[in-house]
A and B are shown apart, each in its own frame.
Chain A
């Protein structure tokens, strides 16, 4: 399982894909309680393979966001987590945080600098990349989310949908191998949602998507995991999990009224790049 830690801050994608037997995410027996004693995660075991897109659904307070914060070591519970074979512990945090791109629910939290360009450059600059490489990354990331040319704009002048896309770009510029998205489609109007979903579907990285937007799971993820009460209560192909009405009802979930699931063919097609 152990993998040599790359010496430089930037491990290239090739170096990563060299040992394909290591899963993208390996979580064993993860428990976490907040300092006031509230238990949030009560023993989570999860393996996500490279290139997989996994939807993480569950009622409010199930521990979904808390779980995401463990993936890059912001919160450290007890149990084992490794990301691409790299244990999430203090000495590896720098590399883990490069590899795990966490996109938060509220883009206002993620865009904290004066201009879009500065925000997108923040991650790569922290990696110690030189100026040229940083601006290359900024361009590449903004292009991927269709926001090229807005480098000089102040983020508070953007629409909410644009803010969400730039928030994604701020982690893409670090060239992450795993994208962890917290409620990517919340508060978006249908057109902005559609745009964001297309952008996310086209990104060739492993994804964990926390969402209440169950159709999003159909669109983006071939696999769905239900988290409830700090435990994983269901894990399987998206169609199988989300079309099981009894299972959904047991965990306070439901598909939108008159929702017609896409055929498995079209749903898969949208989650594959190119």
Chain B
């Protein structure tokens, strides 16, 4: 899975950019991609080249990006499975009994697959070049509602602890020979989940008390806003500019 903030070590141009321009740039890029009519196949090739350029600039390993791209496979496969059952108007490409794939259908598949790959790819570049705290700060600076920002931030902070707690409970159960083989042993698992919920709940209460003790009154600023540098602006101009130029040429019926 693409975990934003899985950014590791390597500090190069893309990593150092302000999270805000990366968020705006890559989300904007995805929006432009999604609005491009699927017939303009060459446009998608150019979008892909733009992303290849960015990934190379960030020195991301193609394998790392490729592995993360696999998350979209289930969605694309679902579209592919249902295609033969709907019969969009158009020339029949393949026919097998009552099932047939038309060229309209194939276009729908191409449309979904290409856009899913490109927009996810952009998000992967964002995730691999931005640490989670930076990402959350960026979203906060971009005026994402406080509740969502805090939820994200707490999720990142406590997911690992939650995992550790559940692992230690699993170990405690295994140490007492709990090794569920039949249905009758399942209830213990339910109780473990219940206990895990209660633990998380009381941790939540303790964290809240710790917050209130330091003067929390319902709102707070995470970080001061930083000033954008020339490289940040250059990145925004590049990514949004590239997307816009390609899209405008498509709209004008170019090529």
Residues of A within 8 A of B (CB): 69, 72, 74, 94, 97-98, 100, 102, 104, 106, 108-115, 118, 121-123, 125-127, 131, 134, 154-156, 170-171, 174
Contacts and interface: CB of A to CB of B under 8 A. Distances in A.
Given A97-B214, A110-B210, A174-B214, 15 more contacts: A69-B209, A104-B210, A108-B161, A109-B206, A112-B157, A112-B211, A113-B133, A113-B153, A115-B133, A122-B214, A125-B221, A134-B224, A156-B161, A171-B214, A174-B215
Contacts of A155: 157
B215 A97 contact: yes
Nearest to B211: A112
A102 B161 contact: no
B203 interface: yes
Contact of B203 (A100, A109, A114, A171): A109
Interface majority SS (helix, strand, loop, mixed), chain A: helix
Contact of A126 (B160, B207, B217): B217
Nearest to A120: B214
B214 A156 contact: no
Given A113-B153, A113-B157, A126 B220 contact: yes
Interface string B145-181: 0000000011011101100000000000000000000
Ranked nearest first, the 10 interchain pairs of A and B with the lowest CB-CB distance are A114-B133, A126-B215, A123-B214, A131-B224, A109-B206, A102-B213, A110-B210, A115-B133, A109-B210, A112-B207
Interface majority SS (helix, strand, loop, mixed), chain B: helix
B215 A98 contact: yes
A121 B216 CA distance: 12
Contacts of B211: 112, 122
B35 interface: no
B160 A156 contact: yes
B107 interface: no
Contacts of B161: 108, 156
Interface residues of B, number: 28
A100 B215 CA distance: 10
Contacts of B154: 112
A74 B209 contact: yes
A113 B150 CA distance: 9
26 contacts: A69-B209, A72-B213, A74-B209, A94-B217, A97-B213, A102-B210, A104-B210, A109-B203, A109-B210, A112-B154, A112-B207, A112-B211, A114-B137, A115-B133, A118-B223, A123-B214, A123-B215, A125-B220, A126-B214, A126-B215, A126-B217, A126-B220, A131-B224, A154-B132, A155-B157, A156-B160
Contacts of A97: 212-215
Nearest to B156: A114
Contacts of A72: 213
Contacts of A113: 133, 153, 157, 222
